[in-house]
Amino acid sequence: MKKYYLLLILVLAVSITIVGCSSETNKENAQVQDEVSKEENIVSPPEETSVEDSVPEIASGKLAPNFTLKNLKGEEVSLEDYRGKLVLVNFWATWCKYCDMEMPDLQRLDEENEDLVVLAVNVQEDKETVEAYIEKGGYEFEVVLDEEGEIATMYLVYGLPNSYFIDEEGILLGRVPGAMTYDQMVQVLDSIREGE
């Protein structure tokens, strides 16, 4: 239980840092938001379901809701497949400039940590767009496609990027909204490992 409190404190500290940085870029954020029309709101729930119908109980210290999506090879990948490893579930899109800035750090984190899986959930983009982006960047971590945005809705994602840390037993440890630096990612991972 101690690790959940330590991680919560660390996630709050990272979030405050991110919010502090975002206040300096409010004009930039407004311009990015202006570029996305209301019809392209990537985190809107699917038309046939309401948010209340599609959102399970999601909270730190509880089992992370499982999901199964297809990767870029067309294979089904489930969150449960990664039990026994730490998982960083990162919700992102190719058009998101903060996601783009974060991708090299996610790649580095994935390469340097054998006990960690980076699971990048692309939200509401087609396979060809995502595949071209991943190939161009040379990214090798697992990428899955949330083409309808159902998993993003289930995880209460309302902006991108958003990262969730999940322990080896599938327990949700916390969420970091917004982009993280490599150092912030390592700080969260170190905190998780120290709490074990």
pLDDT, tens digit, 9 for 90 and up, residues 161-174:
999 999 999 999 99
SS3 126: coil
Which of 61, 106, 114, 67 minimizes the C-alpha distance to 88? 106
Strands (E), 45-193: 68-71, 76-78, 86-92, 116-123, 142-146, 162-166, 172-177
Tokens of 64: 């992370």
Residue spans of the domains in the chain: they are 2-22+58-195
Helix (H/G/I), strand (E/B), else coil: 14: helix
Which residues, 6 or more positions from 15, have their beta carbon under 8 angstroms from its beta carbon? 176, 177, 178
E strand or H helix that includes residue 11: helix 2-24
Indicate the class that CATH gives domain 2-22+58-195: alpha beta
| Pairing label, strands 86-92, 142-146 | unpaired
Per cent of the chain over pLDDT 90 is: 68
Beta-bridge partners for 71: 144
Kind plus residue range of the DSSP H or E element containing 107: helix 97-112
Chain segment 91-104, per-residue pLDDT in tens: 999 999 999 999 99
| Beta-bridge partners for 176 | 163
Mean pLDDT of the chain: 80
Contacts of 186 (CB under 8 A, 6+ apart): 109
* 42-93 confidence digits (pLDDT tens): 444 444 443 344 445 678 899 999 999 999 999 999 999 999 999 999 999 9
- Asked whether 56 and 154 are in contact (CB, 8 A), the reply is yes
